[in-house]
Structure 1
Amino acid sequence: MPLRADLEGESLQSFRMSGVEWDVLKKSNRRVLLKMPCCGERAIAKTSRLGTQYFSHYRKSESCDFEPESKEHLLLKEVVAVAASQSGWEVITEGRGESSDGQQWRADVLCKKNKAFVALEVQLSKQNLEEFKVRQDRYKRSAVRAAWFVGKSQFHHSKPSPSKDLPIFYVDWESGCTNPQVIDFEMPLADFVKALLSGMISWKDEPEEYKVLFLKDTCWKCGNPVNLPYGYSIGVYGDNIKTVPHCDAILSEIRKIVGNDFLRENGVNTIHSHPRLKGNAPNFPNCCVCIHCGTPEANCYLYEKYVASCKCGYANSGSATKIIGRCEGRWEVEL
């Protein structure tokens, strides 16, 4: 459902209207003149259960290609649109365009400043990496930069490696949906959008060495030897697990930096989300998974093994407990 409708030749953006103005519109006789921008059919002004003001079809035509959107999608789209507008950009939701070879597209939030165009996309439904690349390339051929705000569970196994050409940022929209956060940057989505559009978030090209630290162990299920990741370093910065809940943050960071493919190729257990696994702290679901049988290792046991290894000096010895790779670049916040 769009955040925009046409009213007698005027484009109305729901996020620009106060609650009072919205209620007046919903009761006004002019409401029957509202038209959907996607197909020209009559539009109805509504408010979602999360408080988002939006427009819906009174009766959808068979030729209309606009797909229904979840209340979470609408909320995130509104947050992005408001933040972009507050950053001084001209904003139109559900903005349409066409690539140089005639392929049409529609952006959730299309931003314009002088001759620059930026498309900001919210993607909560499943979309594979190839589809991201195809749509990103379409924007590129339209001289439009694009960034993606993706649900944190979009990729179950491994997140795409950091890329200058495909900026994908992961959003936690499930925790009440009142103040969605950009996970890897620990920033509210609204603040992140403002920083991105103001140039405070940029791609750092300098390659850096990273290390993933691990413990040698045996899988409790299949009995095969495994390596349990417990810490990392990149450049001069690094961290190890400190508590059971902290395991989730460290493992999430390792997966973000190197990805599960790299871990698997180097014989280290991969990292996945298991929110209902006994032994993981509530709301801290990321944990190790055996690369042989796929059985998860609860974080309480990972932490116990790490503490035990520290007491005997194994974790700090550095002997065969790390893999080294190169990070070709990453997105950084310059505050």
Structure 2
Amino acid sequence: MNKAHLMELALPLTAIHAATREIVEAFDIAPEGWERMKAEPAGSYLIRRSGLPAVLKKNVRGTCWFAARPGESDPECKPTSPEHEFAQVQIVKALRVVGFAARIEEPGYTPDGERWEADVFIEHADRKIAIEVQMSQQSLEESSDDPRSTCSLALRLYG
């Protein structure tokens, strides 16, 4: 099987509760809670990266995620793999266990107003750290040459 068969559109793992504006992480909800959330009225949750109304779904692997409604698409979705999403979730959970305030799919902006999204984001004391999960082999030069990569943005901000 080639790599293209392993890739799928990123499953948004975070949404915003429309009424409370609270960030909701699909991977951190117990099955009963997920079912209760699914019973809420349409439009109760918004996909965090796009603001589109979310449909709560569970795939065949048991991964809970937020999808755009049929006929709508999230322009921010990019191809990823189940392994990439698994790594994101495990990194966030591990960092939280040791006391860091880690967030998944954290958006931000460069001083020039360019939007970015960190796979995992940590704020600790006065430091902000963005972690980009990279499953395929890629050199630092390749990462920094891609103007959309978190690595490239970090080099422009802090390099």
Range moving further from structure 2, 3-12 or 116-125: 116-125
- The question of 1:139 aligning with 2:150 is answered no
| Partner of residue 13, structure 2 | 3
- The question of 1:33 aligning with 2:44 is answered yes
1:25–1:31 contact (8 Å) kept in structure 2:
no
Q: Deviations over 1:4-29 (max 9, x none)?
A: 00112221112322232223222x22
| Partner of residue 107, structure 2 | 96
How far apart are the structure 2 equivalents of 1:40 and 1:3?
A: 13
Range moving further from structure 2, 110-119 or 97-106: 97-106
Identity of aligned residues (%): 26
The verdict on how the C-alpha distance between 1:32 and 1:63 changes in structure 2, with shifts beyond 3 A counting, is closer
How far apart are the structure 2 equivalents of 1:45 and 1:63?
A: 14
| Partner of residue 15, structure 1 | 27
Amino acid of the residue matched to residue 7 of structure 1?
H
Instruction: List alignment gaps of at least 5 residues for structure 2.
Output: 1-10
- Structure 1 residue aligned with 2:97, among 86, 97, 100? 86
1:41–1:59 contact (8 Å) kept in structure 2:
no
Amino acid of the residue matched to residue 83 of structure 2?
E
- Structure 2 residue aligned with 1:119, among 130, 139, 145? 130
1:2–1:93 contact (8 Å) kept in structure 2:
no
The verdict on how the C-alpha distance between 1:17 and 1:63 changes in structure 2, with shifts beyond 3 A counting, is closer
- The question of 1:67 aligning with 2:61 is answered no
1:98–1:142 contact (8 Å) kept in structure 2:
no
Amino acid of the residue matched to residue 20 of structure 1?
E
1:93–1:110 contact (8 Å) kept in structure 2:
yes
Instruction: List alignment gaps of at least 5 residues for structure 1.
Output: 144-164, 166-335
Give the aligned CA root-mean-square deviation in angstroms: 2.7
> How much has 1:62 moved relative to structure 2?
5.9
| Partner of residue 110, structure 1 | 121
Matches within 5 A, 1:96-245: 96-124=107-135, 129-134=140-145, 135=149, 136-142=151-157
1:99–1:141 contact (8 Å) kept in structure 2:
no
Q: For the pair shown, which has the larger CA radius of gyration, 1 or 2?
A: 1
> How much has 1:99 moved relative to structure 2?
2.6
The verdict on how the C-alpha distance between 1:61 and 1:31 changes in structure 2, with shifts beyond 3 A counting, is closer
2:108–2:116 contact (8 Å) kept in structure 1:
yes
TM-score (norm 1): 0.38
The verdict on how the C-alpha distance between 1:30 and 1:127 changes in structure 2, with shifts beyond 3 A counting, is farther
Q: Secondary structure at the match of 1:12?
A: strand
The verdict on how the C-alpha distance between 1:61 and 1:130 changes in structure 2, with shifts beyond 3 A counting, is farther
1:52–1:78 contact (8 Å) kept in structure 2:
no
Q: Secondary structure at the match of 1:139?
A: helix
The verdict on how the C-alpha distance between 1:97 and 1:47 changes in structure 2, with shifts beyond 3 A counting, is same
How many correspondences in the alignment?
Answer: 143
> How much has 1:127 moved relative to structure 2?
5.3
> How much has 1:91 moved relative to structure 2?
2.4
How far apart are the structure 2 equivalents of 1:141 and 1:15?
A: 32
TM-score (norm 2): 0.72
How far apart are the structure 1 equivalents of 2:92 and 2:125?
A: 18
